[in-house]
Amino acid sequence: MRATTAQIGRAGELLVQFRLIQNGIDSSPMTTDAGVDLVAFSPRTGRAVTIQVKTNEKPKPGGGKGKLALDWWLPDSSPADLMALVDLGTSRVWLLSMREVAEHAQQHSRDRFHIYMYTDPAARPRKAMLKAYDYQFGAFLLENRLGTLF
């Protein structure tokens, strides 16, 4: 059986919650989707942090026929403090602030940012100066952000 889009999205939210609780950070899902999927409590700052989660089930060919890549379309006016980008295939989670999304998105079209990451090191992006490989986003992995964000 194949998971539905809603199931993939929910699995991403649950993965983010699981990874946060593993690291001593409580979080709770929102009951409605108004651009915030989770609210996490930072024990260090004593403040709530809102998170919008976007999920990929697995990498897919870039442009439909290219090298394998993960990609997310993100609203440019999210009310959330953080965007969580999830790859269910590897259980990786990247956390970016909206400022970081704007800074590192490879495209901005209408009211959305587009972030993509090639998972194939043989891929050759058209604009070499942009971050385009998953390893270039390593600083944004959840485990590398915990001390600064929470």
Tens of pLDDT along 66-99?
889 999 999 999 999 999 999 999 999 999 999 9
Decide which of 32 and 127 is more confident. Answer: 32
**What's the CA gap between 39 and 32, in Å, rounded?**
12
What pLDDT is stored for residue 130 in this prediction?
Answer: 63
DSSP β-ladder status, 60-61 and 107-109: unpaired
What pLDDT is stored for residue 127 in this prediction?
Answer: 62
Query: Is the pLDDT confidence value at 132 over 80?
Result: no
* Domains of the chain with CATH codes: 5-149 (3.40.1350.10)
Q: CB neighbours (10 Å) of residue 43? A: 11
Tokens of 83: 């965007």
Cβ partners under 8 Å of residue 100, min gap 6: 140
Decide which of 142 and 31 is more confident. Answer: 142
> Which amino acid type is present at position 119?
T
**pTM of the predicted model, to two decimals?**
0.92
